[in-house]
Amino acid sequence: MAKDPQSGARETSALRTGTSEGHGEMAALMRTCDWSQTPLGPVETWPQSLKTAVNILLTSRFAMWLGWGPELAFLYNDAYRPTLGLKHPWALGTPFQSVWAEVWENVRSRVETVLSTGEATFDQDLLLFLQRSGFPEETYHTFSYSPLADDAGHVSGLLCVVSEETDRVINERRMATLRDLSSAIAAANTEPELMSAVGQELGANQKDLPFSLVYLFDRDGDAVSVKVPGLLSEHPAAPERIAVGQDGPWPAAEVYAHGEIRIVSDLAREEVGELPHGAWDRAPVKAAVVPIRQQAQDKPAGFLVAGLNPYRGYDESYSGFIELVAGQIAAGLSNARAYEEERRRAEALAELDRAKTAFFSNVSHEFRTPLTLMLGPVEDMLSHDGESDSNANSDMLAVVHRNGLRLQRLVNTLLDFSRIEAGRTQASFEPTDLCELTVELASSFRSAMDRAGLQYSVNCEQLSQPVFVDREMWEKIVLNLVSNAFKYTHEGDVTVRLQERNGRAALTVIDTGVGIPAEQLPHVFERFHRVEGARGRTNEGTGIGLALVQELVSLHGGQVHVTSQVDAGSTFEVEVPLGSKHLPQERVGATRGLTSTALHADSYVEEALRWLPGGGEEAPPDAAFVNGNESDAMRTVSLDADSDRSSVLLADDNADMREYVTRLLSSRYHVRAVANGEQARQSAIADPPDLVLTDVMMPVLDGFGLLKALRSNESTRTLPIILLSARAGEESRIEGLDAGADDYLVKPFTARELLARVEAHISLARMRREADEEIRQKNEELIKANRELEEFAYVASHDLQEPLRMVNIYTQLLVRMSDGLQQKPEAREYASFISRGVHRMEDLIKDLLVYSRVVHHDEEGAPTADLNRALNEALTVLLAVIEESGATVESGPLPTVAGDERQYALVFQNLISNAIKYRRKGVAPLVRLSAEQVDSEWRIYVDDNGIGFDPRQSERIFGLFKRLHKEAYPGTGLGLAICKRIVERYHGRIWAESEGEEHGSRFTFALEEGTT
């Protein structure tokens, strides 16, 4: 290296200048350095180009180093010092390969490229594990190596301009995790969703979180491991549960008690086992245990264990990151728990709502019994009115009656609501001439409107098509709206209009009444809302009518609107779509399942009339019935029938009810009243009445129990039974009729209704009895005729056998005895034809005999049959056939069933010989018998590998003389008919299955378990 004192002096001065100008520590250090001890030699000997480069280096604020000479002696500036860490100042003048021995292999090729080609390199964010802080550290660098030429122009060194990107890269990575975690947590509603999001996001950052665990404290303070993908679980380091007060692998107790962050730095312990490495080539040696805090609670909800990157120190940024992660989990958890709480509350509310609906239902139920007890006697008394009581009394009774009816109406309306609420309303949408129906309903109010001095017009135009409505519901819609208009209109007019508009039927009810204040309008369809201060004809009202209208209209897929102006009037408009597409199809044309709550127009009108001054004194139009004519007629009938009174058994635990019903019925029937189902059962069986009238809810034995008991007793099986119940729900009714009740009366019922039903069922039963008797006689005749026929078949077949035998024997005798005939081959052939015919016919007759004997002889048979023995018997008979055909018959164990063994032997014999007979050509027959218990019956299977049959024939097979394969297989066609007959004698079933021709067959007979 050439020495140039001048340039050396300049350079020295440059170095000096650097110092004097405050160029920093490195310049000072380099000045004081004894360069003669380094490969570079004394500064005076440095080539100019090196000095220039050093000058640039030292004066730059950008991190740089340069390597000079064959060993690339290392020179660097102040900005580069942090990258060197502990290697400063030792690195100064040290060969590059020693300074960065740990990354030499990573950069070697770059260095060599630059030195040999003189071309610069560039790397961005290159990961280098630098050993500068006492451990290999994950660092990132963006740098460029450029060549440095000596004074002669030869490349003698390289200059590296570098910027360390470690913080940026790692921060970006952590930010990404925090960002993703935050959005994943935001999308999670429940705790499991949250945890799975946490696992997924933490698991995605394997560099900062080589492993992580989450524990949540339960109510007792035990820490419970969260098991989701991405979080460590089912590992020695992740016990499922850490009991309260215990630490386990992690300081759980401490975190629980103090809620502080702990660093665990002895992860090499054996008890935690081999930990996951994450993105690195070795496992973390430390972990941070961070509490997951919960708002306003001193105890943490749990804790996060984060395995720490072994190539990073646990600095502020790292701990900040992990705490932020824990913070996010804590926030997510508190949201999830709040959400859960919310959901529980919503469920509780829904439960409350259901309870409310049930309450409605119960209330209406509770009302019905006393209502019956009120209304019934009143009607009864009113009907006797003409006889003795004074008018004053009857007036009072009428008041009671009307109020009772009103109560009934209320109860029914409530019930309507509870049904709608419970989703139990079952509309029956039928195509209806809506014009006609609406006119009819609206017109019922005419007299009331007239009497109130109101103009009443009903304009219904004929619609282009029938409208699908539930008539009962439509009735309630119309009557409620008209009644409402009537109630709030003191003068002027009420108009009811029906039009077709845009594919909808529009019902408009317009009044000139008191109107509704604007602020009240949004609420008129709310339940129990009553417009305050409205001047109606009455203050009575449930506030439920319009709400009901709205519910009913919406069930029709329609809408109801109101417009109104105070003191000018209101207009209610109902729109229902035409056609039926908008309706639930299963309810279109469906039968009505629910007890009707329809009250009919009269009830509305009757009530409306009472709102008029003096209205109550007028007899309501439908009050006629209570005034007696009909009841008189009934009494006359009952007197006529007195000599031959029918008896009614009444079961009700309510003494009032018993007394009341007894009184109602006793004029026409003998009534026996008992207080519970058990008494009724005993009484009915001891002396069957003509009809049973029973309450449903009773102690000891309830109505359904009674029903069941009576239906299962022979003497009371067909008794007409009417259930009386306060439960008006559809289920009750279906339950009642399904259970075999003849009818079902819902309380409150009227006297008339009760009498009518009782009478109807008694006469129905009488007719049925007569019809039964007739049928029984016919049946007996038939049975007799049948028996005779069977006798005849037996005798006839026997008698048929005789001549046949003769035909055969004498044919043989003839051939044998006549020399002439014996010589002729045709004669022998003809004789054989005759013989064959005879044998065939004999088989036929034999089977017919058996067939008729199935009826004749089975009664004397043993009560139980061991089918194994029956099978053996059959096999004995079939021995020759089986041997001849090479058939195999296998059988599993068979049960013992009711019936005659010999008969079953016959069944087996026929089925097996059938299976053998219909074998496939060239295939040895295989018959398998097996038994299986299915529910309460035994199924005996006879499977074969024979020719099978077309499944479409499976019904025909058992018919008399039904032969499916006539040509190829001989047989009488009676065998299976015999089987069927026998099996059916024992109340069993027999059927055949085959997957088709050539696929074998399965014959199955099924017998009730019975005596086994």
Partner 1 sequence: MTSPIVLFLAEDNTGDVIVIQQALKKQQLDFEMFVAEDGEKAKRLFERAGKDLPPPHVILLDLNLPRVEGSELFSSVRENPLLGDVPIIVVTSSAPPSEEGWAQRLGVTHYFRKPSDLDEYLELGAIVKRVVKGQRVQ
Which stretches of the chain bind partner 1, using CB under 8 A? 798, 801-802, 804-806, 808-810, 812-813, 816, 838-839, 842
Burial class (CB in 10 A: 0-12, 13-18, 19+), 215: buried
Which one, 244 or 807, has the nearer CB to partner 1?
A: 807
Closest CA to 801 of 761, 841, 853: 841
- The pair of structure tokens assigned to 560 is 């109801």
Which one, 39 or 837, has the nearer CB to partner 1?
A: 837
Rounded least distance, CB 851 to partner 1, Å: 15
Rg (CA), the chain: 52
Rounded least distance, CB 809 to partner 1, Å: 5
Rounded least distance, CB 847 to partner 1, Å: 14
- The pair of structure tokens assigned to 878 is 């079939």
Rounded least distance, CB 842 to partner 1, Å: 6
Which whole-number Å values give the CA distances from 225 to 242, 266, 276, 293, 481, in the listed order? 8, 21, 17, 16, 64
Rounded least distance, CB 838 to partner 1, Å: 6
Asked if residue 192 lies in contact with residue 276, where contact means CB atoms within 8 angstroms, the answer is no
Collapsing DSSP to helix, strand or coil, 989 comes out as strand
Rounded least distance, CB 901 to partner 1, Å: 12
Rounded least distance, CB 822 to partner 1, Å: 13
Q: Is the dihedral of CA 501, 504, 507, 512 positive or negative?
A: negative
Which one, 406 or 902, has the nearer CB to partner 1?
A: 902
Which one, 838 or 990, has the nearer CB to partner 1?
A: 838
Closest CA to 15 of 47, 48, 63, 54: 54
Q: Count Cβ neighbours within 10 Å for each residue of 510-529 and write b for 16 or more, e otherwise.
A: bbbbbbbeeebbeebbeeee
Which one, 348 or 813, has the nearer CB to partner 1?
A: 813
Please state, in angstroms and rounded to a whole number, the distance separating the CA atoms of residues 117 and 56. Answer: 23
Which one, 782 or 813, has the nearer CB to partner 1?
A: 813
DSSP alpha helices (H): ranges in 858-900?
Answer: 867-885
Which one, 664 or 838, has the nearer CB to partner 1?
A: 838
Asked if residue 212 lies in contact with residue 307, where contact means CB atoms within 8 angstroms, the answer is yes
Rounded least distance, CB 799 to partner 1, Å: 10
Which one, 122 or 810, has the nearer CB to partner 1?
A: 810
Which one, 353 or 829, has the nearer CB to partner 1?
A: 829
Q: What phi and psi values does residue 808 have, to the nearest 5 degrees?
A: -70, -50
Give the position of tokens 């990354």.
103
Closest CA to 650 of 745, 721, 579: 721
Which one, 269 or 839, has the nearer CB to partner 1?
A: 839
Asked if residue 945 lies in contact with residue 972, where contact means CB atoms within 8 angstroms, the answer is no
Which one, 227 or 985, has the nearer CB to partner 1?
A: 985
Rounded least distance, CB 945 to partner 1, Å: 34
Give the position of tokens 């019925």.
665
Which one, 126 or 800, has the nearer CB to partner 1?
A: 800
Rounded least distance, CB 715 to partner 1, Å: 39
Rounded least distance, CB 903 to partner 1, Å: 13
Q: Count Cβ neighbours within 10 Å for each residue of 61-87 and write b for 16 or more, e otherwise.
A: eebbbbbbbebbbbbbbbbbbebbeeb
Type and span of the H or E element at 562 = strand 559-565
Rounded least distance, CB 988 to partner 1, Å: 24
Give the position of tokens 């600095």.
315
Rounded least distance, CB 869 to partner 1, Å: 16
Rounded least distance, CB 762 to partner 1, Å: 53
Rounded least distance, CB 795 to partner 1, Å: 11
Rounded least distance, CB 904 to partner 1, Å: 16
Which one, 467 or 855, has the nearer CB to partner 1?
A: 855
Q: Is beta strand 1001-1008 parallel, antiparallel or unpaired with respect to 937-944? A: antiparallel
Which one, 227 or 902, has the nearer CB to partner 1?
A: 902
Task: Show the CA angle centred on residue 943, arms to residues 938 and 944, nearest 5°.
Answer: 165
The string of DSSP codes covering 676-731 is: SHHHHHHHHHHS--SEEEEESS-SSS-HHHHHHHHHTSGGGTT--EEEEES--SHH
Bridge partners (DSSP) of residue 559 are 575
Which one, 840 or 965, has the nearer CB to partner 1?
A: 840
Asked if residue 865 lies in contact with residue 903, where contact means CB atoms within 8 angstroms, the answer is yes
Question: In the chain, helix, strand, coil percent, each to 5?
Answer: 50, 20, 30
Which one, 357 or 808, has the nearer CB to partner 1?
A: 808
Q: Is beta strand 926-934 parallel, antiparallel or unpaired with respect to 302-307? A: unpaired
- The pair of structure tokens assigned to 343 is 């959901």
Sheet holding 989-993, edge to edge: 888-891, 926-934, 937-944, 1001-1008, 989-993
Asked if residue 758 lies in contact with residue 661, where contact means CB atoms within 8 angstroms, the answer is no
**Count of residues for the chain?**
1012
